[in-house]
Amino acid sequence: MAVNLHIPAESDIHPVAGVELGVAEAGIRKANRRDLTVMRLAAGSAVAGVFTRNRFCAAPVQVCQAHLAAGPDIGALVINTGIANAGTGQAGVHAARRTCEEAARLLGLRPEQVLPFSTGVILEPLPVDRIAAALPRAVADLSPANWMAAAHAIMTTDTLPKLHSRRVQLGDATVAVTGISKGAGMIRPNMATMLSFLATDAGIAPALLARMAREIADMSFNRITVDGDTSTNDSFVLVATGAAGVSVQSESDPHYGALRAALAEAAKDLAQKIVRDAEGATKFITVRVEEAGSTEEALKVAYAVAHSPLVKTAFYASDPNLGRILAAVGYAGIDDLDVSRVRLWLDDVLVASEGGRHPGYREEDGQRVMKQPEITVRIALARGQAADTVYTCDFSHDYVSINADYRS
């Protein structure tokens, strides 16, 4: 059950000028479900991507990276769910390339202008003939208003579609920022088993867009974790069509700050929705580390806590067994950490200080917080001024069941 996940009404989803989406049922792994999405982009759109750092990266990731490196004129994205086309060797690369060829033929593009994306089961061949047969139906379905349908079509074990949409005023122009994401398990930074596609009809210089994509990914999709596993297929794609008539060419542009903030807010929301809909999740947990000597230190501690199965199962049980958090802080990898100066809060409840249980801490206060659907763990290291935040969830029986039955 998703934790406080807001789905915007279709009337609140703003089309992005220069972006059309179409979906179809290809029967890639299961019959009678929408599992193929085409996104057509207006000529002149700028596209940037951030991809998994898993060395066993999937064939579509390899092809995407090659196509983005070949030139800036990307005209379409093709996304399938059901089969990840990962661990498929050279045959998988050929399948991803054929997907691009078939889409290009239908859309009047060159194959290298198409970016392919896949998500689903690893180590199984992609049924590219089924994709080729369904692509004409997805192209026929192209519409600026199909964001909700596309959000559904990219889901795997997600229980709800994940969308973000808003309008931003840049001088006299109003621009749209709309995006979708998917992911529920195998979620860990750099990045996760996630796909996200975020678009604006503002124009952004290609080099600037690429830098923004990396920075925004680090603020959002690289700050979430569900289970500590890094996927083979992670992709975050940022699109700027320029169709709204306003363009940002450099960081000194007066509209840069507002546009970057809107895109970062959208990515953070889409990333958090992945955690809120994580497999079996019943709690949404924010881990905030303060007074660290560096950002690296803060993230070491935050991820040690967020990845700990003992911490996560305690949250699921609403059991204030909070010594597990201190243990995770202790093994995070800061060799000269002075534990006598570390403080730990659960929301507003000071749990630990001076190397042990805070004298004013009461078990019933910890229990009260642990029963909430949203919890903030705050840790102060007393080593400096750096701080960072990671978002995670609890581990439930359902997480085990979902992943045990994943291929059923």
Question: Domain segments of the chain: what residues?
Answer: 10-276, 284-404
Q: Give the number of other Cβ atoms within 10 Å of residue 160's Cβ.
A: 17
State both tokens at 397: 């029986």
What pLDDT does residue 191 have?
Answer: 34
Q: Give the number of other Cβ atoms within 10 Å of residue 268's Cβ.
A: 18
- Beta bridge partners of residue 393, listed in sequence order: 284
What pLDDT does residue 231 have?
Answer: 56
Task: Name 107's Cβ contacts closer than 8 Å, sequence gap at least 6.
Answer: 38, 40, 75, 76, 114, 139
- Beta bridge partners of residue 224, listed in sequence order: 391
Distances 191 to 195, 233, 307 between C-alpha atoms, Å? 9, 9, 14
CATH code, 284-404: 3.10.20.340
355-386 per-residue burial string, b: 16 or more CB within 10 A, e: under 16: eebeeebeeebbeebbeeeebbbbbbbebeeb
Query: Distance (Å, rounded) from C-alpha 146 to C-alpha 43?
Result: 19
Helix (H, G, I), strand (E, B) or coil at 42: coil
Query: Distance (Å, rounded) from C-alpha 139 to C-alpha 36?
Result: 10
What pLDDT does residue 193 have?
Answer: 56
Q: In this structure, which amino acid lies at residue 292?
A: A
Task: Name 252's Cβ contacts closer than 8 Å, sequence gap at least 6.
Answer: none
CATH code, 10-276: 3.60.70.12
Task: Name 119's Cβ contacts closer than 8 Å, sequence gap at least 6.
Answer: 79, 80, 81, 82, 84, 154, 156, 182, 193, 195, 233
What pLDDT does residue 407 have?
Answer: 59
Q: If we measure between CA atoms, which residue out of 184, 386, 362 comes closest to residue 300?
A: 386
What pLDDT does residue 113 have?
Answer: 98
Residues in the chain: 408
> Active-site residue among 178, 193, 200, 282?
193
- How confident is the prediction along the chain (408 residues), in pLDDT tens digits per residue? 789 999 999 999 999 999 999 999 999 999 999 999 999 999 999 999 999 877 888 999 999 999 999 987 999 999 999 999 999 999 999 999 999 999 999 999 999 999 999 998 889 999 999 999 999 999 999 999 999 999 999 998 888 999 999 999 999 999 999 999 998 544 444 433 589 999 999 999 999 999 999 999 999 988 988 755 555 678 899 999 999 999 999 999 999 999 999 999 999 999 999 999 987 789 999 999 999 999 999 999 999 999 999 999 999 999 898 999 999 999 999 999 999 999 999 999 999 999 999 999 999 999 999 999 999 999 999 999 999 999 999 988 776 776 666 555
User: Is-catalytic flag, 193?
Assistant: yes
Q: Do 284-404 and 10-276 fall under one CATH topology?
A: no
Handedness of CA 376, 377, 382, 387 (dihedral sign): negative
What pLDDT does residue 227 have?
Answer: 57
Q: If we measure between CA atoms, which residue out of 141, 147, 229, 232 comes closest to residue 195?
A: 232
What pLDDT does residue 406 have?
Answer: 57
What pLDDT does residue 280 have?
Answer: 79
Query: Distance (Å, rounded) from C-alpha 336 to C-alpha 285?
Result: 27
Query: Distance (Å, rounded) from C-alpha 215 to C-alpha 230?
Result: 19
- Beta bridge partners of residue 115, listed in sequence order: 77
What pTM was computed for the model? Answer: 0.93
